[in-house]
Amino acid sequence: MFPVQGLPNYCHLQGIMSPQLSSLLFLVVGISMAMTPWLAAGGQLIASRFEQHDVRSLLPVESEVRSLAYELIANIVKVSFSP
C-alpha cells in the first residue's frame, strides 16, 4: 500500500476525520491514481496534435534577441541604482 493510501486510515485512527470522510478520501486517492496513466496518454495525444514540425520558424531573429538583451540589462541597471 502506498503511503498516501494509508493516510486516510491513519487520520481516522487518530480521530482527525470521520470514517465517512476517511473512506471518501481513500476513494478519491485511488481513483486519481487509477486515472493518471489515461490522463497522461490523453495529454500526449493532445500534444501530438499541436506539435509543430518546423520549429525554426518559432525562433526569434538574432537582432530581436540582441535588442531585448540590451533592454533587459538597461532595466536591471536602472532598477539597481534607483533609490
Under the banding of pLDDT at 50, 70 and 90, the label for residue 4 is low
Residue 11 lies in a domain: yes
Residue 74 lies in a domain: no
Whether pTM exceeds 0.85: no
Residue 3 lies in a domain: yes
Residue 81 lies in a domain: no
Residue 64 lies in a domain: no
Under the banding of pLDDT at 50, 70 and 90, the label for residue 1 is very low
Domain interval for residue 38? 1-50
Residue 18 lies in a domain: yes
Residue 16 lies in a domain: yes
Q: What is the DSSP string of 7-73?
A: HHHHHHHHTSS-HHHHHHHHHHHHHHHHHHHHHHHHHHHHHHHH--S-GGGGSPPHHHHHHHHHHHH
Give 29-77 pLDDT, tens digit per residue.
889 989 999 999 998 888 887 776 666 777 777 777 777 777 888 778 7
Residue 57 lies in a domain: no
**Number of independent structural domains in the chain:** 1
